[in-house]
Structure 1
Amino acid sequence: MTPRQSSSSSSSSRSLSRRHFLRGAGVALGLPWLESVNAWGSTVQGKAGAAAATGAPRRFAAMFMGNGVNPHHWGATNGANGLDLMKTLSPLEPIKDKLLVFKGLWNPTTVMGPGGHYPKMNLLSGLTVKQTTTDVQVGTTMDQLMAQQIGKHTPASSIVLGTEGPRYSTDSGFTSIYSAYISWSSPTTPAPKEIYPQQAFDQLFDDGSKRRRDKSVLDTVLSDANSLRGKVSGRDAHKLDEYFTSVRELEQRIEKADQFSKANTNGHGWQPTVTAPTFARPEAGIPADVRDHLKLQLDIMVLAFQMDRTRIATMMLNNDLSGMNFGFLGNIKGGQHELSHHANDPERLDMYQRVNQYHMQLLSETLQKMDGTNEGERSLLDNSMIMFCSSLWDGNAHDSKQLPILLAGGGGGTIKGNRMLDYSKNENRKLCRLHLAVMDRMGVKMNQFGDADTALTDLA
């Protein structure tokens, strides 16, 4: 990949390297990033996704949109100049050189057993969603497996964001909890999702006061929970044990954040160019305007990557079966889930289409912001992999025989964009093969994940 240089850089300045500059200066001090000097060197990944001494790290994010897509206008073809994007993906035109569009990938387990939405919510695990209203099970997801290894290098192992909390109902023997989470820290425990921008902001950029308050709350919670031991059934005792595990994970996150705060370094030589929040702490509560809510959460995700507060993120733009209203787009009636069941009515299909395109506009703005963040030889987007996904292909038919999957970013120079990769006629078209390829690029080596034992090999 060609190094990113300013138009004013001379040929002689482009030939400078960090080592040459330090020798010439006769000092042993670290340099800030300079446009005319290759101060960070190549981005070489070390063990578990850690950056080499002079390289920027790789990041991964999964972005989810509920209720499927309009299959008539989703996708792309390979043309003479790369991707020819269909209508829904047209907002991604400015960034298509760093975009892969996948066709035909699926999770085979979603077409077995009962239908509907909930059994399809295994996008990041590939395992069967347990039909239950109590003891939920999906499988540990790939983002959290990476966080377990890569998270030791950052104050937060991962950040899990959304805009809607869980709702409580059942359908076809499944609990609606499934519709509210794509990230699971264990097979039976969804990773806590933060829907309040201020709390998400504090979780990543707090000065220590919030962590101290959290410790106090945890002490009280643990005291109350411990008092229940011996007073509950065996089943509830098991649930308490799982609860204690989650609390301990939170304690460990708080302790680690404190350690990073005191050390004031990520410990890997490389330092981010953005060292303080670039926007004000959000107001308390959930923004009244859904547009503000969505953009705030996405801005927090990007800022977390810019400041190297975490290298793993998931963002649910909305829940599956979401009733989110998009009336601000003009003459749109009904919630998103209702619109997805358009029954091919032209008016409702048009409204659904505009909602789909709005999500692509949000994705495009986020990707362009990342591409505009310079990290020396590459941009933040070049050093990242951003996966966009939905759990249904045709929302109207609950069809998951293929899934709408995009992958943006360069993966630290390991991914070649501006292509559509068609697996529709490939017998081994499992989505988990893509997950294996992503995890490998993040330095997490696995022989098998979910239902796949081979990674996709044609991303570069």
Structure 2
Amino acid sequence: MKKKWHISRRKMLKGIGAGIALPYLEAMSLPGTPVYEKASAPVRAAFLFMPNGVHPDKWTPEKFGSDFELSPLLQPLQDVRQELLILGELMNRNSTVEDADGHYARTANILTCMPIQKTIGDNINSGGISVDQIMANHLGHQTLFPSLEYGLDRIKTGVDTNVGYTRLYASSIAWKTPTQPLSKEIDPRLAFDRLFKNYVPGRKVKEDHWKKSILDLVMDDARNLKSNLGRSDQDKLEEYLESIRSVEKRIVNQENKEKFEANITEDIKKELTRVGQRIDEYVEMYGGVDVTEKTHLMLDIMALAMWSDASRVSTFMFGNSVSNRNFSFLDGVSGNHHSISHHMNDQEKMEQYARINYWHVEQYAYLVKKLQSIREGDRTLLDNSMIMFASGLRDGNRHSPYNLPVLLAGKGGGKLKTGQNIQFAKNTPLANLYLTMLKNMDVSLDRFGDSTGTLSEISY
């Protein structure tokens, strides 16, 4: 039976596409920001999420403080050891509420630190706004993209009948409101073109001129349409409306765009050309099993966004919760991530689990090293950043939310004491880390989620 929110593709194109030049939307979705002095470069923040936990015995270094050796799983970070914080005994308390599933209730709220609403429908609720979006709300007026959301997996839909949760909770960690997750971009070409299409030599697109009356008409039509759509389509439409609002801001603030263009240095142009060429080569082999190159491309785009100040806040999901990505492209691995994470203490599976974890840390190290290689005055881009890596589980086999694997790289503009392996008091709220990061970005909050204070051990 056809539901009221079902609409034909023809009607969708007629209702939206006829009133707006879609190619222009991509071209207009270009970064813009005031030029800043390198000596006072802004602080950036990125949150990288890995599903399914870690090998519990190979994560935490044996010694604490500044005199420590990296554990087996953290070896890829050896070259940036002094830029790293290894944060032990943090937990997301509200992921352990009664009847909470081991994955969904520990993924959707990893950046909100609030209990999610259990549901099999589209009445999803993460309990609060995610920390990245609080940062974006504070800084968004300074960049044309308040935040960027990237990942590798498509949004999941349907219901996980084993636990009685909608799979929508598996796909998002960024929440604009408690009931509105932000969709993530998973295609490197689309992510790159959205930001930099006009700034790569040979790719520049001629800009058209918008009439505000046409824009208003599209907005009215889109809002009318939204009331008749299902939840998933409403989220997509809302993202579309946000992109139109961003374009509208640029129409009335050409000066902001011109200032951004002045920030596109020759070094940035060279990197844009290099990444653009790699994307073209990658597209030819798109759909391959090994996702390493795709991951590197997405992380390169994140780094470019930070470097050019296109956006100062971003998230990246290596996989959706309960990810079944097949990691057989790694030597010694012969299965999918989620199944292997339920290792049942089988040594062969635990070794495969560790190899998958190691690959994820390698990708994190790739981004951290890239940021360290970019100079900003007498600092590096990494010095002016806070790059978090975490999973919502400690051990995937037990779905343990205690002593989460959490890393933080970068000095946050000189405010973080890096080069430490710290063991906090047991069950220290993960929200305390977020409150610390918020204060480092000059966001004045007394409390976030279930926080009880900041982490003084890592702050100057």
Q: Same fold (TM over 0.5)?
A: yes
| Offset at residue 57 of structure 1 (A) | 1.2
Q: 1:33-182 to 2 correspondence within 5 Å?
A: 54-78=39-63, 82-114=67-99, 115-121=101-107, 122-133=109-120, 134-138=122-126, 139-171=128-160, 172-182=163-173
- Give the structure 2 partner of residue 388 of structure 1: 389
**Amino acid aligned to 2:118:** Q
Q: Secondary structure at the match of 2:381?
A: coil
Question: CA offsets, 1:72-101, max 9 Å, x none?
Answer: 101124468633211111111110101000
Is the aligned partner of 1:348 residue 2:349?
yes
8 Å Cα contact 1:78-1:419 kept in structure 2? no
Question: CA offsets, 1:80-126, max 9 Å, x none?
Answer: 86332111111111101010001110111111122321111211110
1:376–1:320 Cα change, 3 Å: same
8 Å Cα contact 2:435-2:445 kept in structure 1? yes
8 Å Cα contact 1:53-1:270 kept in structure 2? no
TM-score by length of 1: 0.80
| Offset at residue 253 of structure 1 (A) | 2.3
**Unaligned runs of at least 5 residues, structure 1:** 1-48
- Give the structure 2 partner of residue 297 of structure 1: 298
- Give the structure 2 partner of residue 189 of structure 1: 180
**Amino acid aligned to 2:444:** K
8 Å Cα contact 1:51-1:58 kept in structure 2? no
Question: CA offsets, 1:356-379, max 9 Å, x none?
Answer: 011111111211111111111111
- Give the structure 2 partner of residue 3 of structure 1: none
Give me the whole-angstrom Cα distance separating, in 2, the residues matched to 1:119 and 1:228: 28
Q: Secondary structure at the match of 1:82?
A: coil
**Amino acid aligned to 1:135:** N
Is the aligned partner of 1:203 residue 2:194?
yes
Q: Secondary structure at the match of 2:433?
A: helix
- Give the structure 2 partner of residue 279 of structure 1: 274
Give me the whole-angstrom Cα distance separating, in 1, the residues matched to 2:157 and 2:231: 22
Question: Between Structure 1 and Structure 2, how many residues are aligned?
Answer: 404
1:99–1:238 Cα change, 3 Å: closer
Give me the whole-angstrom Cα distance separating, in 2, the residues matched to 1:102 and 1:50: 35
Alignment RMSD (CA, Å): 3.2
Give me the whole-angstrom Cα distance separating, in 1, the residues matched to 2:86 and 2:378: 25
Question: CA offsets, 1:321-342, max 9 Å, x none?
Answer: 1111222212311111111011
| Offset at residue 302 of structure 1 (A) | 0.7
Q: 1:223-242 to 2 correspondence within 5 Å?
A: 223=221, 226=224
Which stretch shifts more, 195-204 or 281-290?
A: 281-290
**Amino acid aligned to 2:258:** N
Q: Secondary structure at the match of 1:105?
A: strand
Question: CA offsets, 1:280-306, max 9 Å, x none?
Answer: 432459552411111111111111111
Q: Secondary structure at the match of 1:329?
A: coil
Question: CA offsets, 1:209-229, max 9 Å, x none?
Answer: 599799999966862652576
Q: Secondary structure at the match of 2:376?
A: coil
Give me the whole-angstrom Cα distance separating, in 2, the residues matched to 1:333 and 1:185: 38
8 Å Cα contact 2:226-2:234 kept in structure 1? no
**Amino acid aligned to 1:279:** R
Give me the whole-angstrom Cα distance separating, in 2, the residues matched to 1:407 and 1:252: 33
| Offset at residue 166 of structure 1 (A) | 1.6
Is the aligned partner of 1:330 residue 2:331?
yes
1:338–1:155 Cα change, 3 Å: same
Give me the whole-angstrom Cα distance separating, in 1, the residues matched to 2:36 and 2:456: 23
Question: CA offsets, 1:40-80, max 9 Å, x none?
Answer: xxxxxxxxx99678411111000111100011101124468
- Give the structure 1 partner of residue 370 of structure 2: 369
Question: CA offsets, 1:24-48, max 9 Å, x none?
Answer: xxxxxxxxxxxxxxxxxxxxxxxxx
Give me the whole-angstrom Cα distance separating, in 1, the residues matched to 2:164 and 2:457: 40
Q: Secondary structure at the match of 1:200?
A: helix
8 Å Cα contact 1:433-1:452 kept in structure 2? yes
Give me the whole-angstrom Cα distance separating, in 2, the residues matched to 1:337 and 1:254: 40
Give me the whole-angstrom Cα distance separating, in 1, the residues matched to 2:294 and 2:150: 11
8 Å Cα contact 1:125-1:141 kept in structure 2? yes
Give me the whole-angstrom Cα distance separating, in 2, the residues matched to 1:396 and 1:214: 54
1:243–1:89 Cα change, 3 Å: closer
**Unaligned runs of at least 5 residues, structure 2:** 1-33, 199-203
1:238–1:271 Cα change, 3 Å: closer
8 Å Cα contact 1:218-1:247 kept in structure 2? no
Q: Secondary structure at the match of 2:306?
A: helix
Q: Secondary structure at the match of 1:412?
A: coil
- Identity percentage of aligned residues: 32
1:364–1:329 Cα change, 3 Å: same
Give me the whole-angstrom Cα distance separating, in 2, the residues matched to 1:241 and 1:292: 32
Question: CA offsets, 1:248-285, max 9 Å, x none?
Answer: 32222233456468732149x98877442242432459
TM-score by length of 2: 0.80
Give me the whole-angstrom Cα distance separating, in 2, the residues matched to 1:227 and 1:318: 31
Give me the whole-angstrom Cα distance separating, in 1, the residues matched to 2:45 and 2:63: 26
Is the aligned partner of 1:459 residue 2:446?
no
